[in-house]
Amino acid sequence: MFSVLLSLYVKEQPSNLIQSLDSLFSQTLLPSEIILVKDGPLTSELDAVVSDYVQRYPILKVVVLKENQGLGKALNEGLKHCSYDLVARMDTDDISKPDRFEKQLKVFQQHPEIDVCGAWIEEFYNDVSDIVSIRKVPESHAEIFKYAEKRSPVNHPVVMFRKRAVLNAGGYLHFWLFEDYYLWVRMLMNHCTFYNIPESLLYFRASPEMVKRRGGMKYLCSEIKFQQEMRRMKFISSFRFMQNLLIRIPVRIMPNSLRGFIYKKMLH
């Protein structure tokens, strides 16, 4: 038995939310409950979609936040309402493949020592037939630990984890754009065991706007602070800290078109 945790905010498109929810209710292994956090007031169209699915599917439970809190705080609040230790994450514009939960649950059943189970994701524009890249992540725990020094080692929208392990590491903490990466680092330092299934289990909705959001001084400043935090925690060395900055600074300040090429061709 397991929970699914989603956070929804006002800028989501109703059609994307419908596709996302439909993929959850089309699984070969259905979740025991779905916790949907409304992160602040929504549009009437989004509220209508949520109300429709609540009436159709009793396992869908809604948690309402009066004001927008941001992803980290919204997920922390949602975790409080998850009844089961195993929790699957997903974003409200992505699409889970039909056997996603079945395959992830099998990992936890066969390897009870695992705390976090991720997978690859396929990024698409507009339609799942238009796959633009695949984000592959390392499979074994040792590979994941080493990879985490350079990049986030888990694809957040497709992860399933043990709630108690997340809470023992402090839960989601606010760190703009890096809430999930920050959580994985703290869990790795807390001796949690990670595993990534070496196949794609989710379609991730991408767009040129997403690439644009990954640039600019605001993003760069947050990334530098995060790298400083990893160094402070002694997760990375000073040498790795400088390496990471030398790689990231040019990517954040370069033109969007060039950044998009790098994400598509070199980092996936």
pLDDT tens-digit map of 111-131: 999 999 999 999 998 889 889
pLDDT tier at 257 (50, 70, 90 boundaries)?
A: low
Domain 2-206 has CATH 3.40.228.10: no
Least confident range from 98-107, 151-160, 174-183: namely 174-183
Q: Is the pLDDT of residue 211 over 60?
A: no
Percent over 90 (pLDDT), the chain: 82
The pLDDT score that the predictor gives to residue 261 is 66
The pLDDT score that the predictor gives to residue 125 is 87
The pLDDT score that the predictor gives to residue 176 is 85
Measured CA to CA, the distance from residue 267 to residue 244 in angstroms comes to 14
What residue type is assigned to position 123 of the chain?
E
**160 to 68, 95, 104, 139, 265: CA distances (angstroms):** 25, 15, 7, 14, 27
